[in-house]
Amino acid sequence: MIAFFIKRLAQAVLVMFVISLISFSIQDNLGDPLQEMVGQSVSEAERQALRDELGLNDPFLVQYGRFVKNALQGDLGTSYFFKEPALEVILNKLPATLELVFGASLIIIGLSVPLGVYSAINPHSWFSKVVMGISIVGISVPVFLTAIGLIYFFSIEMGLMPSYGRGDTVEVLGLETSLLTADGWSHLVLPAVSLASIMLPLFIRLIRAEMMEVLQSEYVKFAWAKGLMTRRIYFLHALKNTMLPVITVGGVQIGTMVAYTILTETVFQWPGMGFLFLEAVNRVDTPLIVAYLIVVGAIFVITNTIVDLIYGLVNPTVKLAGKK
Amino acid sequence: MALLEVKNLEVSFGLRSGAVKALRNISFSLERGERLGLVGESGAGKSVLGFSILNLISKPGRISGGEIWFDGKNLADLSAKELRDVRGNRISMIFQDPMMTLNPVLTIGQQMIECLKAHRKISTEDARTIAIQKLKQVYIPSPETRIDQYPHELSGGMRQRIVIAIGLLMDPDIIIADEPTTALDVTIQAEIMELMVELCDRNNVALILITHDLGVVSQVTQKAIVMYAGRIIEQGPTKEIINDAQHPYTQGLMNALPQMAIPGQRLNQIRGAMPPLQRIPVGCAFNPRCDYVMDLCTKQLPGYTASGNCKVACHMVADMKRKAEQSTDEV
C-alpha cells in the first residue's frame, strides 16, 4: 500500500510538471495582459517598465524557473485582476464547483445503474427502448443547449426553479456550502441536471453494454445452473463484474466533468471555478489561467488515484503494488 | 422407471430467418448411477442437449416439444422456482472451461456457500464446513486456506476440481459434464476424469458426459449416444458401439481415431463437414458424406432400427437387417 502511494506520488509529480510546463508555455499566446491592466493613456516607456517589473521580458526558461520555484512554495502567482494570490482565488471558488460535480455525480450514479441494468436484462421491453432512445438524444445535444432548455422550461415557463446563482449558503468548517439549505438545493438541481446530461446517457449505455456481455459469460450461466436466486445472479454475480470497467471510465469522466463545468457554470452564472476561468480568459489574467489548469490537473490526478484504490478493492485480480 | 427419461425432445432457436431446430426427436433414458457418453462433432447438439435438460438454453433457444421426466416431474414445463430447486441441487452441471466457469470477483468459499444456502436452510458456518469437506473430497490441498482465495489464484486443474466440488455440494442425482477436460492440460485430463468417475461411483451419481473424445467414452461410460446434426443416430451400450459400430458415421468416427491409422500414414477422416442447422439435407442428414449412400437416403429420414442392444438411424442397417431376416426365414 505504501509502495503504491509512493509510486503514485512520483507519477503525480511528473504529471503536474508536464501540466505546468504546458499551461505556462501557452500563456504568451493568450494576448497581452498589459492591455487589460492599464488603459490606453499609459505610454510605451511606462508599459516597458511595468513589463520588466512583472518579469515578462525575461527569457521563457527564466520565467518558468521562477514560476516553479514559487509554485513549490504554494505561490502560483498573483491574479492581475483580483490582485490576490491566484491559488487562493481559485480555491475560494472550488467548493461551488465540487458541489455541482457532486450533484451531477449523484444523478449519474443514482440513475445509470438501475436503468443500465434494467435495459440489459430486458433489452426488448418498450421501456428499455425508450431509455436507449432518450440516451442517444442526451449524448447528442450539447450541454449549453440542454442548460438553456432547462432554464426555459423550469424557470421561465413553469417558474419552478431559480435560473441562476447558487442560492443561500452556510459556512461549515470554514467552507461555504449550499448543500445544507433548501434554497441551495433548488439552485443546484438545474445546473446538476444539465451537467449530468452528457455523462448519464454515456453511463447508461456503458453499463447496459457491459452487463449484456457479462450475462452471456460462462460464470453467469454456471450461476444459473447452480440454482441461485435471480436477484443474486443479476446484482451480485453480474453487476460486480459489470462495474469493473465502469469504475475505470467513471474515474476519467469525473475529471472531464470538472472541465464541463465551464459551460454549465457560465450558463447558470454558478460562481465556481469554471465561471472564474472563463472570466480570467476574457481578462487575459494569465496567472489565474495557469493556476486553474494546475488545480484541475491536480483534481484529475487525485480522483484517478482514488478510483484506482476502489478498483483494487472491487477486483481481486488487481494487486496494488506492495500489498500482499 | 428410469431416473431420467427424455422423450421426443425438440429444441428450436427462433431466428429472424425463422425457427431452426437444434434438437429433433431426442429420446433416451438414464438409470441411477449410470454413466452416459454423449458424442458427436462440434455443432451436433451435444451441449444444447446437456443444457436443455435443466432448461438452461439461452435465448432465443427454447424447448419446443417433448418431455424430460425426472423424479415424477416434467422438467420441460416447470415454473422458474421449481426449476431452481432442481438446478444445482438434484441435477448439477460441470462446464467446459474452468477458467471461465468461476466468477473472478468472488472467493471460492462465497461461490460454494451461496449454492448450499440457495437449496438448504443452513448457517454460513455449517455451509463452510460442508464446502471444506467437499474440497477435501476433490483432493484440494489445505482447503481451509484455499476456500478464501479467488479463482485466479488457482491453477486450471485446481479450478476444475472446485467446479466438480460445487457440482457435488448438494449430493445430486445427476451430473451433466460438458467436455469437462477439454480445456485442461493433457497431463491433468486423465486425473480429472478419474476423479469424476471415482466420486460418481462412490456417491452413486449418474453422469452425462458430453465429449468428442471416444477414448474417454469407451473407458468411462456404460452407455453412449452418438449425435449428428441435432439427432441421435446411434445409441446403446458403449461396448457394442465402440466394438461394432453400425452407423457409417459412428464407424467413421472410430476410424478417425489416431490409433486406427497405420503409423506413417495419413490419419483417416470423414470427408466433408457437418451441415449448418439451417441447411440440413433432405432424408438422412449424413447422406452427402456417407460412403454407402443409397437412393432412399436422400429422400426419407431413417427411423430407428434395433441392432443388438443398439438403436441405429440408418437405411442401410435397416436394409441389411431385413435381408438377414428374410434369409433366415428362407432357411
φ, ψ at B67 (rounded to 5°): -135, 150
How far is the alpha carbon of A225 from chain B, nearest alpha carbon, in Å?
5
User: Do A272 and A281 touch, CB atoms closer than 8 A?
Assistant: no
Q: Are A199 and A250 in contact (CB under 8 A)?
A: no
Contacts of A313 in chain B (CB under 8 A): none
Q: Which of A222, A232, A243, A311 is the mutation pick for testing B, counting most B CBs within 10 A?
A: A222
Q: How confident is the model at residue A39 (pLDDT cuts 50, 70, 90)?
A: low
Answer yes or no: is pLDDT of A321 > 70: no
**SS3 for B278?**
helix
| Helix axis angle, A143-150 to A182-215, nearest 10° | 130
In this structure, are B284 and B218 located in the same domain? no
Q: For residue A102, what is its C-alpha cell? A: 457532486
User: How far is the alpha carbon of A125 from chain B, nearest alpha carbon, in Å?
Assistant: 15
Pair (B45, B171) in one structural domain: yes
- Among A32-36, A263-267, B276-280, the range scoring the smallest mean pLDDT is A32-36
Rounded mean pLDDT of chain A? 84
Q: Are residues B189 and B51 in the same domain?
A: yes
Name the closest residue on chain A to residue B94, using Cα atoms.
A222
pLDDT for B162: 94
Q: What is the DSSP string of A155-181?
A: IIIS--S--SS----EEETTEEESTTS
Using a CB-CB distance cutoff of 8 angstroms, which residues of chain B are in contact with residue A230?
80
Residue of B nearest to A123 (CA): B59
C-alpha cell at B202: 462412490
CB contact under 8 A, A241 and B104: yes
* Cis check: omega of the bond before B281, within 30 degrees of 0: no
Do B221 and B288 belong together in one domain? Answer: no
Q: How many beta carbons lie within 10 A of that of residue A67, not counting itself?
A: 21
- Give the contacts of B316 (CB within 8 A, at least 6 positions apart): B248, B292, B294, B297
What confidence tens digit (pLDDT) does each residue in B99-135 have? Answer: 899 999 999 999 999 999 999 999 999 999 999 999 9
B162 and B296 fall within a common domain:
no
| B215 and B252 both lie in a single domain | no
Alpha-carbon distance of A261 to A272, in angstroms, equals 8
Residue B313 counted as domain residue: yes
B195 and B255 belong to one structural domain = no
Segment B263-278 mean pLDDT: 85
**Would residue B268 count as lying in a domain?**
no
Interface test with B, best of A121, A212, A226 (most B CBs within 10 A): A226
**Contact between chains at A317 and B150 (C-beta distance less than 8 A):** yes
More confident of the two residues A186 and B254:
B254
Q: What is the CATH number of the domain that holds B117?
A: 3.40.50.300
Residue A324: the pLDDT is: 39
Please report the pLDDT score of residue A174 as a whole number: 64
Question: Which residue's entry shows cell 449505455?
Answer: A205
How would you classify the pairing of strands B310-312 and B305-307? antiparallel
**Domain assignment present for B267:** no
Mean pLDDT of all residues in chain B?
A: 91
List b or e across B99-114, with b for residues whose CB sees 16 or more CB atoms inside 10 angstroms: bbbbbbbbbbbbbbbb
Q: Round to whole Å and give the CA distance between A280 and A119.
A: 44
Question: Inter-chain contact B95–A222, Cβ cutoff 8 Å?
Answer: yes
Give residue-wise pLDDT tens across range B142-167: 999 999 999 999 998 899 999 999 99
Kindly state whether residue B243 falls inside one of the protein's structural domains: no
CA distance B272 to A273: 70
pLDDT at B209: 95
Of the partner residues B80, B105, B163, the one whose CB lies closest to the CB of residue A316? B105
The answer as to whether B171 is a domain residue is yes
CB A296 within 8 A of CB A304: no
> What is the pTM assigned to this prediction?
0.84
Pairing status of strand B223-228 against strand B231-237: antiparallel
Name the strand (E) or helix (H) holding A294. Answer: helix A286-314
Nearest by CB: B85 against A218, A219, A227: A227
Percentage with pLDDT > 90 across chain B? 64
Quote the pLDDT of residue B115: 94
User: Residue B169, Cα to own-chain centre: how many angstroms?
Assistant: 20
Of A3-7, A213-217, B192-196, the one with minimum mean pLDDT is A3-7
A305 Cβ neighbours under 8 A, 6+ residues apart: A8, A12
Greatest mean pLDDT among A7-11, A44-48, A241-245, B184-188: A241-245
Q: CB B105 to CB A223 under 8 A?
A: no
Written as one string, the DSSP assignment of B120-170 is S---HHHHHHHHHHHHHHTT-SSHHHHTTS-GGGS-HHHHHHHHHHHHHTT
Is A226 in Cβ contact with B114 (below 8 Å)?
yes
Task: Quote the distance between the C-alpha of residue B1 and its chain's center.
Answer: 21
Q: Which of the 8 DSSP states describes residue B232?
A: E
- Which residue, among B261, B258, B262, B238, has the nearest Cα to B250 in the 3D structure? B238
Of B246, B171, B184, nearest to B216 by C-alpha is: B184
Q: Are residues B220 and B254 in the same domain?
A: no
Overall CATH class of domain A89-314? mainly alpha
The backbone torsions φ and ψ at residue B227, rounded to the nearest 5 degrees and listed phi first, read -115, 150
What average pLDDT does this structure show over B198-208? Answer: 93
Secondary structure letter of residue B267 according to DSSP: P
For the residues A110-128, what does the mean pLDDT come to? 93
Touching B: A residues 276-315, CB under 8 Å: 314-315
What is the per-residue pLDDT for B43? 84
> Which one has a higher pLDDT value, A162 or B227?
B227
Mean predicted confidence (pLDDT) in A218-246: 93
Distance CA B52, CA A158 (A): 57
Longest dimension (CA), chain A: 86
pLDDT at A172 over 80: no
**Considering its fold, how many domains does chain B have in total?**
2
Which range has the worst mean pLDDT, B56-60, B139-143, B315-319?
B56-60
CA B191 to chain centre: 19
Closest-CA distance, A227 to chain B, in angstroms, reads 4
* Complex prediction ipTM: 0.90
B307 and B158 in one domain?
no
* Alpha-carbon separation of residue A249 from A164, A246, B209 (angstroms): 31, 5, 43
Q: Which of A218, A225, A232 sits opposite B114 (nearest CB)?
A: A232
Identify the residue whose cell numbers are 484529475.
A300
- Given pLDDT bands bounded at 50, 70 and 90, which one contains residue A322? very low
Residue B176 placed within a domain: yes
Rounded mean pLDDT, B238-266: 88
In chain B the first and final C-alpha atoms are separated, in Å, by 40
Of A217, A224, A317, the CB nearest to B87: A224
Q: Structural domain of residue B301, as residue ranges?
A: 248-260+278-330
Looking at residue B27, what is its pLDDT? 95
Instruction: List CB contacts (< 8 A) between B148 and chain A.
Output: none
Domain ranges in chain A are: 89-314
**Confidence check: pLDDT of A323 > 60:** no
- Using CA coordinates, name the residue in chain B closest to A244: B105
Residue carrying the nine cell digits 483494487: A312
Q: Tell me how far apart the alpha carbons of residues B264 and B38 are, in angstroms, rounded to a whole number.
A: 31
- Give the model confidence (pLDDT) of A125-159 as tens digits: 999 999 999 998 888 888 888 888 888 888 878 77
Among all chains, which residue has been given the C-alpha cell 493556476? Answer: A291
Report how many helices (DSSP H) and strands (DSSP E) chain B contains, helices first: 12, 12
* More confident site: B321 or A179: B321
Pairwise CA distance, residues A133 & A205, whole Å? 11
What pLDDT sits at residue A81? Answer: 83
Residues of B with Cβ-Cβ distance to A228 under 8 angstroms = 84, 88, 114-115, 118
**A42 touching chain B per CB within 8 A:** no
Interchain contact, B88 vs A227, CB within 8 Å: yes
CA distance A32 to A61: 19
